[in-house]
Chains A and B, each alone.
Chain A
Amino acid sequence: GQQLNQSPQSMFIQEGEDVSMNCTSSSIFNTWLWYKQDPGEGPVLLIALYKAGELTSNGRLTAQFGITRKDSFLNISASIPSDVGIYFCAGRGNSGGSNYKLTFGKGTLLTVNP
């Protein structure tokens, strides 16, 4: 089946620093989604990417759909304490009739020291 490798698993940074995390896949995806999960809450959609090479921003967040369609990255600029949480990538392929299915990364735990 499809595999997603998300890295790093965790990051400890100082407030104000920039952050970068990425996901790589063993197969081609048609969609990349980035979510953030706060403690005790469900994942919240941050950015959705639908075309290879697409670069999309949402405030201080920027995500890109890799040209090979097998990777994506998320950048957070000028981090603030409320950026703390777990960030997940998710990809959707187009294998037969299972294009509804998302494959999830294991998440990146971000800690921001004020």
Chain B
Amino acid sequence: DAGITQSPRYKITETGRQVTLMCHQTWSHSYMFWYRQDLGHGLRLIYYSAAADITDKGEVPDGYVVSRSKTENFPLTLESATRSQTSVYFCASRDVTTGGRDTQYFGPGTRLTVL
């Protein structure tokens, strides 16, 4: 399917376990992002990637690891999940046109519960 997809859509895990959330986009956008959404905080940037093999920290990176070996994929790993990482996670990609139009498109989200 065209666009940006995330998997799984729902995940329940236990404290201390490693979890990987997947993100795939079919547009070949250079920039990709991971956000978490929590009540009272809105959307917060975890990590972003400007291109394959280029990643950098966002606002709340602690406890997360990312990689980007291919342009279309941007997985997010929680190395040792904690309850505070219970959240809804959104992946996004940035579309910049030659005309200067610059937007971000979001995936459907992964709802993660850490018990």
Contacts and interface: CB of A to CB of B under 8 A. Distances in A.
Given A41-B108, A42-B107, A100 B42 contact: no
B101 A48 contact: yes
Interface in A61-114: 88, 90, 92, 99-102, 104-107
Contacts of A21: none
Nearest to B105: A45
B106 to A, nearest CB: 4
A24 interface: no
Interface residues of A, number: 22
Contact of A104 (B43, B48, B108): B43
B53 interface: no
A43 B103 contact: no
Given A42-B109, A100-B94, A104-B42, A33 B103 contact: yes
B31 A48 contact: no
Name the residue in A43, A48, A90 with the highest tally of chain B Cβ atoms < 10 Å from its Cβ.
A43
Nearest to A51: B100
Interface in A24-80: 31, 33, 35, 40-45, 48, 50
B43 A88 contact: yes
Interface of B is mostly: strand
Contact of B45 (A48, A101, A105): A101
Contact of A41 (B31, B42, B109): B109
Nearest to A31: B102
Given A41-B108, A41-B109, A100-B48, A50 B100 contact: yes
A63 to B, nearest CB: 13
Interface of B: 31, 42-43, 45, 48, 50, 90, 94, 100-109, 111
19 contacts: A31-B103, A33-B103, A33-B104, A41-B108, A42-B90, A42-B108, A43-B43, A43-B106, A45-B105, A50-B101, A50-B102, A88-B43, A90-B104, A99-B102, A100-B31, A100-B50, A104-B43, A105-B42, A106-B42
